[in-house]
Amino acid sequence: MTTTTATRTGTVAVLGLGAMGLPMATRLTTGLAVHGFDIAPARLELAAEAGVAPFGSAREAVADADAVLLAVRDSAQLDDLLFADSTGIAAALAPGAVVILTSTVGTDGIAAVAERLAAHGVDLVDAPLSGGPVRAGAGDLLIVVGAEPAALEKARPVLELLASTLTVVGDRPGDGQALKTVNQLLCGVHIAAAAEALALADALGLDLDRTLDALQAGAAGSFMLGNRGPRVLQAYDEGGAEVLSRLDIFVKDMGIVGKAARAAGLATPVASAAEQLYLIGQAQGLGAADDSAVVRAVAPERRHR
């Protein structure tokens, strides 16, 4: 898989067919042969229905793949998937293949992962993404990339099927994670701020639908207020808002932000305050709820309806 033309008829393996992995795999079937693996049989069945070839193990899925797209939860899961003694895929990858890391796992250890893969003749493309499941299925993701140019060219046909905005931020694996860390600082703070503002509006007896409209029309408006605001209002309904991004993802991501800031010797008091709200929400049993439910860490109940 060395050129765009060759790769269009190549094979990509998608490991992790969860909320993001499955729509990405489905999208990739529009231009590539796609292998899939997930530990949950139900996700494999859904993938098969979408045109993805299901495999019984990660090693089987990647054996003849030109590219491998990883949708993992954290750095520990990444290391296990790649290098575990009996199940790690690194030893099963063909020399010249490329591994595309789409998850937000932080910068720690990424350079070491790239070195270990290089020992197998495999490149690492650090390509964390944003956009959610619907945009993943439509090929409308924002992807930021840190990778050596030759590795990026191998991965580009896969990335271009998934991204409407593809930004190369550096030529080192880890550069993508660094920018995504900055991105998540802002996203986490903006969601928490939107929730806090709407909780205050409710406490003051304001009509929340009108409040949202007014705020979005002025200087206080933001993407997260407009996107999460309506879901914040649904957070108090039975069952809460539809889960498009879990609250515990921001527990993880704001933890990555704090760790990176401390390593850089930088104070991030606003991000730290937002992180506490997500931790409170998780302690309240809201980890699997939509991240808009962070409003309930501020105000467990609505005061006015």
User: Quick check: is 154 catalytic?
Assistant: no
Residues 14 and 80 placed together within one structural domain of the fold: yes
The parent domain of residue 110 ranges over 4-171
Residues 61 and 209 placed together within one structural domain of the fold: no
Please report the pLDDT score of residue 4 as a whole number: 36
Which pTM was predicted? 0.90
- The answer to whether residue 302 scores a pLDDT higher than 80 is yes
Position 15 in a domain: yes
* Closest of 67, 32, 64, 61 to residue 154, by C-alpha: 67
Q: In which band, very low, low, confident or very high, does the pLDDT at 169 lie, cut at 50, 70 and 90?
A: very high
Residues 147 and 204 placed together within one structural domain of the fold: no
**What CATH number is given to the structural domain containing 151?**
3.40.50.720
Query: DSSP of the chain, one letter per residue?
Result: --SHHHHTTSEEEEE--STTHHHHHHHHTTTSEEEEE-SSHHHHHHHHHTT-EE-SSHHHHHTT-SEEEE--SSHHHHHHHHH-TTT-SGGGSPTT-EEEE-S---STTHHHHHHHHHTTT-EEEE--EESHHHHHHHT-EEEEEE--HHHHHHHHHHHHHHEEEEEEEESSTTHHHHHHHHHHHHHHHHHHHHHHHHHHHHHTT--HHHHHHHHHTSTT--HHHHHHHHHHHHTTSTT-S--SSBHHHHHHHHHHHHHHHHHTT---HHHHHHHHHHHHHHHTT-TTSBGGGGHHHH-SS-S--
**What CATH number is given to the structural domain containing 240?**
1.10.1040.10
Q: In which band, very low, low, confident or very high, does the pLDDT at 3 lie, cut at 50, 70 and 90?
A: very low
Residues 127 and 244 placed together within one structural domain of the fold: no
What total number of domains does the chain contain? 2
Quick check: 161 and 8 in contact, CB under 8 A?
Answer: no
The residues facing 170 across adjacent strands are 146
Q: At what angle are helices 110-118 and 75-83 packed, to 10 degrees?
A: 10
Position 28 in a domain: yes
Quick check: 70 and 103 in contact, CB under 8 A?
Answer: yes
Write the pLDDT tens digit of every residue in 247-285: 999 999 999 999 999 999 999 999 999 999 999 999 999
Of the residues 171, 203, 220, the one at which a domain ends? 171
Residues 97 and 203 placed together within one structural domain of the fold: no
Please report the pLDDT score of residue 304 as a whole number: 84
CA distance 279 to 285: 10
Residues 85 and 184 placed together within one structural domain of the fold: no
Point out the catalytic residue in the list 154, 180, 252, 259.
Answer: 180
Position 303 in a domain: no
Of the residues 146, 171, 196, the one at which a domain ends? 171
Of the residues 171, 186, 218, the one at which a domain ends? 171
- The answer to whether residue 2 scores a pLDDT higher than 70 is no
